[in-house]
Amino acid sequence: MTLKAKLTEIAWTSVDFVLKPIEDLADSVLGQTIDPFTDRHYIAWLSMVTLAFNYNVWFITARLCFPYHTETAIPFWFAADMLADFIYLMDSIIFQPRKQFVKAGDIIKDRIQTKKHYRESERFVADMVSLIPFDLLYLQFGFKSVFRFNRLLKADTFFEFSDRLESIMAKAYIWRVIRTIGYLLFMLHLNACFYYVASDYQGIGGTKWVYSGLGSAYLRCYYFAVRSLINIGGLNEPHTVFEIAFQMTNFFTGVFVFSSLIGQMRDVIGAATMGQTYFRSSMDNTVAYMVTNHIPPLVQNRVRTWYTYTWDAQGMLDESELLDKMPLVMRTAIAVDINLTTFQKIDLFKGCDQQMLVDMLLRLKSIVYLPGDFVVKKGDIGKEMYIIKSGAVQVVGGPDNSIVFVTLKAGCVFGEISLLQSSKDGGNRRTANVKAYGFANLFVLEKKDLFDILVHYPESQKVLARKGRKLMKAKGPAAAKAEEEKKKGLALFGPKPPTPKLLRAVGGTINRGIMDKIKATAGGK
């Protein structure tokens, strides 16, 4: 170890010894380390540091240009400056050294390593420079905000806060719009400051173009900045070369800045409404197709209703489009959280391998049915089972399907027997009509997907085969029920009783006599 490294280690050991009481006090609230992406305490603290940073950004420039350092105002400015500096200091001592980081794929949670990582980063250098107390030069040169310009090096905190806030907001575009508007207001703020400096250079009230000296200096200059940068017009004409050059620079800057900000705002709004635009485009294309092919108005209205309800209920037309972009681990976690409990309650799948159930969850497809839509019809080939995600369905029958046998609500399952039934003798045909009662969102599992999964789980396949036979005996297809009824003697027409032996003998003699007479008559002719 070099002499420089030894001295550095001794210095940091001394600093840690001094700061240990403060760190121990913070441990009870924050813990040993902080997850910078999910810890809400850290994000809340970032908002405080961002507030202090914005105070410095806005007021350092305003105090530098406008005459706000009066005898009565200086104590208040000094107190606000110290409060902002205290927030900066606490951020560097307590929060930043606790931030977890990733190294070679591992999340480092050891305090000693997180502290060392922060102290070796460029962020630490910028934080330390931003805390250098150039304010002490007040004693020599007077109270001037220019000595606080190093506080603006804390800009990384603002951008970090912006990223973290977007990651936890349900509608992140709201913050993006607010941030873009903030950029616009700050550009106008800087222009107002420059205009006041230019007016002071020319002489306050010296010409019609400069600030007249009446009213609030900041508001008057900000008003000029708004009209100048946005090119509203109606401004007093500049007279001197300096005024003309300043005004031309304003116009060119305004065109560049506002075109950039308008483009950024367009991108933000476009990203926020991208899903709605896709929905509207899909619906319009479908309607145009139906109109071109002269689809009946009743069908067109049902298609429009399906589009509208699906979008309102899910916020997208196909959930799988979103989930397909996620890693398998995340898709599995979401599927397990939503549907595993329901799957475990299905009699057919009790006792099966848990991993097999998870694989089945990943094969589920979401389908929305409109009120009155038939999910299955009696006599159809059964190739799917259904889980009710939301809404309800009814098992109906009788004339015009007007009789409701049972209503199944969210969490119920139907059609699971058809997954294991054979097509032999119509064994996998539906035995009842099921239609949607109101809007119904169902998860569908196809038989092909189930068989693809069972190849990898032979034990579960045996369990399903055994349970399937038991369930089919209880509520299987019509063929199985008819066979059961025959065994119990409940069939409508029982088996034909055997003919008594005496009748068989007499009947046989009579029949032979009749046949002999018919043959003799035929031979005589």
> ∠474-477-481 over CA atoms, to 5°?
60
d(CA 262, CA 264): 5
In the block, tokens 């550095």 appear at 8
d(CA 279, CA 207): 58
Residue in 291, 314, 292 with CA at minimum distance from that of residue 304: 291
d(CA 31, CA 40): 13
Strand pairing report for 403-409 and 374-376: unpaired
Read off the pTM: 0.68
Residues 353, 388: contact at Cβ < 8 Å?
no
Per-residue pLDDT of the chain (525 residues; tens, 9 = 90+): 677 778 888 888 888 888 888 888 888 888 889 998 888 889 999 999 999 999 999 999 999 999 999 889 999 999 999 999 999 999 999 999 999 998 877 889 998 899 999 999 999 999 999 999 998 998 888 899 999 999 999 999 999 999 999 888 888 888 988 998 999 899 999 999 999 999 999 889 888 889 988 889 999 999 999 888 876 667 788 888 998 999 888 888 888 887 887 887 888 887 777 778 888 888 888 889 899 988 888 888 888 888 888 877 776 776 666 666 677 777 778 777 777 777 776 777 777 888 888 888 888 888 888 888 898 888 888 888 888 888 899 999 888 888 888 898 887 888 877 766 655 544 567 778 899 988 888 888 888 888 888 888 888 888 887 877 776 666 544 444 444 444 444 343 344 455 555 445 444 554 555 455 545 554 554
Both structure tokens of 96: 């930043």
10 Å Cβ neighbour count for 80?
Answer: 14
**390: β partners:** 441
d(CA 97, CA 48): 17
Query: Kind and range of the H or E element at 384?
Result: strand 384-397
Residues 310, 440: contact at Cβ < 8 Å?
no
Residue in 473, 474, 465, 427 with CA at minimum distance from that of residue 349: 465
> ∠117-120-122 over CA atoms, to 5°?
110
Residues listed for the chain: 525
Query: Kind and range of the H or E element at 444?
Result: strand 433-446
Q: What domains are there in the chain, each with its CATH number?
A: 15-256 (no CATH), 321-474 (2.60.120.10)
Residue in 108, 92, 130, 87 with CA at minimum distance from that of residue 34: 108
Both structure tokens of 490: 């409940």
d(CA 525, CA 514): 17
d(CA 479, CA 477): 6
Both structure tokens of 268: 């933000």
d(CA 271, CA 266): 8
Residue 7: DSSP 8-state:
H
